[in-house]
Chains A and B, each alone.
Chain A
Amino acid sequence: MSDQPKKKLDLSRRDMPKQAPEVRRQNFDEVPLGYPEATAIAEAVRCLQCKKPLCVPLCPVEIDIPGFIKGIAENDFAGGVRVLKDKNLLPAVCGRVCPQEEQCEKGCILHKKGAPVAIGRLERFLADWEATQGEPEIPAMPAKTGKKVAVVGGGPAGLTVAGDLIKLGHDVTIFEALHEMGGVLIYGIPEFRLPKAIVKREVDYLQKLGVEIKTDFVVGKTRTVESLLKEYDAIFVGSGAGLPWFMQIPGENLNGVYSANEYLTRMNLMKGYLFPQFDTPIKNHQRVAVIGGGNVAMDCARTALRLGAEEVQIIYRRSRQEMPAREEEIENAEEEGVIFNYLTLPLRYIGDENGWVKQIECLKMELGEPDASGRRRPVPIENSNYIIPMDAVVCAIGNSPNPLIPETTPGLEVGKWGNIKADEQTGKTSLDRVWAGGDVVSGAATVILAMGAGRIAARSIHEYLTSS
């Protein structure tokens, strides 16, 4: 077999240094500190440079993983960056927030031995190294095609489409509803997990390539898709899944009950943690409950700790095994002192005389028979109700696509959850010259999947623009 390792296997996956829990609880700085150069090289050398790498097909954008790792192993960082950026516009982001354990690293041949190569950390290392090398190289740009593309939404999906199409010579304009670009990367994922400067750098790079950016522009309100179609040859809709769900239980509109989006937006986009230096206020609650068990819930809980809460509890209706958050984030939250209540369901929020939440009534659950999906379904334990005191609740149970664009775009087909219907192979929607991708199509998913969808759509848009 060609994949047969020739040298002795090094099975010690290198750890990445992190800020200590007691320290990081007090600040908003990034938690993992990145590999020092020597560690990165040592980790890169562990890669077997497989001829038929099993890691690559599990990366949604099919990065040449052994290729960029080789760059690190051979101390040719610039070369590694080139390989990386060939497929991934946002390596500094993906290296940090990709669920690598479920993707590339799961495919790694060393995974079977319990020590997959730390692909994500190496990706991050290279991207961060590049950032210290001054201005990024601007690739040679092809001649302009004269075709114009409008991209709706400045999240990972939209950024990918814009990057791909500008490099193919088309004119690209991104329309973003908020005053800053980046989508969830800016307003959702906290600074301590993804420093905003990284996102800003990537957006600046796109602008240097010639992408035009219009913030404060709500498509469907400022102008409709229909109206944009008169001016642009093609439109890509990457407007994300920004509509927050609530549980529809009593007391949800009490003061102190937030959607995760509100809580995180106040913090990240509006820099609430710097209030009053920045104008948008945020409350410093003492006892905070976060409902849900995904990455979003972990982000909210850890944000609450950093804002000075004495006690932060996660309330999740299934058990730890079923929690959708990344293992690493759960561990980080545990280390920082977040309390986890599994198999618990909030029933109602109880307010004080001024309309502020002061208690939550919860119900205990147990795991019953497996359901159709094979997961054991939580069932309520009768008379297990109990009340806990709490002065804030953050509801992080999910989001669906914002209906603004479908509602204002006649003929654009949507599915049951309001997601725009798009062809998986091309990203084409039911409307001529309109493509869509990312969370608005898939429902809340991941950064790299949104980028993958963007790449597919960009390819199809390019085909269309060059054939007509």
Chain B
Amino acid sequence: MFNVIESNMIVPNLHLLTLEAPEIVPEIQPGQFVILRAEQDGERIPLSISDWDLEAGTLSVIFMNVGVTTGKLAALKPGMQIPTVVGPLGIKTEIENFGTVLCVGGCYGIGSIFPIARALKELGNRVISVIEARSNYLFYWEDKLKQVSDQLLYITRDGTKGYKGHVRRLPQIIQSVGSKVDRVIVNGCSLLVKLSSDVTRPLEIKTIVSLAPIMIDGTGMCGVCRVSLGETTRFACVHGPDFDGHEVNWEELAQRRKMYFNEESVPLQTSRCEEHAEKILAEHLNLE
């Protein structure tokens, strides 16, 4: 069992969850993820690690409430427990002194790009962080990011802060940086990482993206997380989740992520009343 230390909604629909996991924390490297279950009968879902505290033995994830499991996680309160936190999984993001690096984050990726930017900065890179959201009020962790970045830039769909538009604006940002950009690293939803890769391809800048295919075990056992890179198939949980964005077969990834689209909405449409009724009845019978 793993203790919930902190749980709150940091911006609309994005939740921060801090968990006590003393055995995992010392091993965490930027770019890795954990798999967790919200309750005993629950499914296993992967979430990127956004930060951790060695002394306290805690790690934090930031997630969007999109379905059954994230819904259950969002309802957690400090002092509660969840049955599974396993990790750190995946291969760490490649961190070297590349020169100038653009760290791009959107949605939960604003959080998960943070430890990557921090590690790059520590190695002496010039770190330009670019965060993207629909509107100004959806940004978070700006102070944290400022501390580990030489520059923090914003893109909003509605133009309420920074550049107006989407990550398609990246080429302009890259131009404005002044010096050559040696690498782009992108974390966030599938559309964001794909579009970023699309626009950096003509610029021939190596672009590393964190992919989010469906996963079950996270140890290379089931193969559901397979992604195609050119002619080769890789298992994202053990060979990734970072891949070269210019090699990813995006169409296949998008199609595989939709695999359980219909089924996933079923639990949301049932409130499980019958099940609860049965449990309550059973308890009454036991008392008699």
Chain A residues with Cβ under 8 A from B251's Cβ? 355
Q: Judge whether A281 and B260 touch: CB under 8 Å.
A: yes
B193 CB to closest chain A CB (Å) equals 18
Per-residue interface assignment for chain B, residues 79 to 99, with 1 indicating a CB less than 8 Å from any chain A CB and 0 otherwise: 000011111110000000000
Q: Judge whether B41 and A179 touch: CB under 8 Å.
A: no
B189 within 8 Å of A by Cβ?
no
B65 within 8 Å of A by Cβ?
no
Q: Give the nearest-CB partner of A243 in chain B.
A: B220
Given the interface contacts A246-B233, A275-B263, does A253 sit within 8 Å of B219 by beta carbon?
Answer: no
A348 within 8 Å of B by Cβ?
no
Task: Give complex CA distance A271, B41 in Å.
Answer: 8
Q: Judge whether A221 and B222 touch: CB under 8 Å.
A: no
Q: Judge whether B23 and A222 touch: CB under 8 Å.
A: yes
Chain B residues with Cβ under 8 A from A266's Cβ? 216
Select the stretch in B114-122, B164-172, B264-272 that faces chain A.
B264-272
Chain A residues with Cβ under 8 A from B83's Cβ? 179
Q: Judge whether B221 and A179 touch: CB under 8 Å.
A: no
B53 within 8 Å of A by Cβ?
no
B69 within 8 Å of A by Cβ?
yes
A385 within 8 Å of B by Cβ?
no
A343 CB to closest chain B CB (Å) equals 27
Q: Judge whether A242 and B221 touch: CB under 8 Å.
A: yes
Select the stretch in B101-109, B153-161, B223-231 that faces chain A.
B223-231
Task: Give complex CA distance A262, B223 in Å.
Answer: 7
Q: Give the nearest-CB partner of B228 in chain A.
A: A253
A112 CB to closest chain B CB (Å) equals 43
Q: Judge whether B256 and A218 touch: CB under 8 Å.
A: no
Give the contacting residue for B266; candidates A215, A244, A276; CB below 8 A: A276
Chain B residues with Cβ under 8 A from A262's Cβ? 216, 222-224
A363 CB to closest chain B CB (Å) equals 22
A369 CB to closest chain B CB (Å) equals 34
Given the interface contacts A222-B24, A259-B222, A277-B41, does A216 sit within 8 Å of B84 by beta carbon?
Answer: yes
Instruction: State which residues 367-417 of A face B: CB under 8 Å.
Output: 402-404
How many residues on chain A are close to B (CB under 8 Å)? Answer: 41
Give the contacting residue for B88; candidates A177, A221, A354; CB below 8 A: A221
Looking at A216, A253, A283, which has the most chain B CB atoms within 10 Å of its CB? A216
Task: Give complex CA distance A246, B232 in Å.
Answer: 12
Chain B residues with Cβ under 8 A from A275's Cβ? 263, 266
Instruction: State which residues 1-36 of B face A: CB under 8 Å.
Output: 23-24, 27
Given the interface contacts A179-B83, A253-B228, A281-B263, does A355 sit within 8 Å of B252 by beta carbon?
Answer: yes
Given the interface contacts A243-B220, A279-B41, does A253 sit within 8 Å of B252 by beta carbon?
Answer: yes
Q: Judge whether B256 and A404 touch: CB under 8 Å.
A: no
Q: Judge whether A243 and B221 touch: CB under 8 Å.
A: yes
Chain B residues with Cβ under 8 A from A281's Cβ? 260, 263-264, 266
A261 within 8 Å of B by Cβ?
yes
Q: Judge whether B85 and A276 touch: CB under 8 Å.
A: no
Give the contacting residue for A261; candidates B43, B86, B221; CB below 8 A: B221
A265 within 8 Å of B by Cβ?
yes
Given the interface contacts A242-B220, A281-B264, does A218 sit within 8 Å of B23 by beta carbon?
Answer: no
Q: Judge whether A265 and B216 touch: CB under 8 Å.
A: yes
Given the interface contacts A216-B86, A276-B267, A283-B263, does A244 sit within 8 Å of B222 by beta carbon?
Answer: yes
Give the contacting residue for A244; candidates B23, B223, B252; CB below 8 A: B223
B174 within 8 Å of A by Cβ?
no
Q: Judge whether A270 and B222 touch: CB under 8 Å.
A: no
Q: Judge whether B217 and A177 touch: CB under 8 Å.
A: yes
Chain A residues with Cβ under 8 A from B255's Cβ? 255, 354-355
Task: Give complex CA distance A225, B203 in Å.
Answer: 43
B55 within 8 Å of A by Cβ?
no
Pairs A–B under 8 Å by Cβ, sample size 9? A177-B219, A221-B88, A242-B219, A244-B221, A252-B233, A253-B233, A259-B222, A262-B216, A403-B220
Question: Beyond the given A279-B42, A402-B220, could you list 10 further A-B residue pairs with CB under 8 A, ordered by the A residue number?
Answer: A179-B83, A222-B23, A252-B233, A253-B233, A255-B256, A279-B69, A279-B267, A281-B260, A355-B251, A402-B221
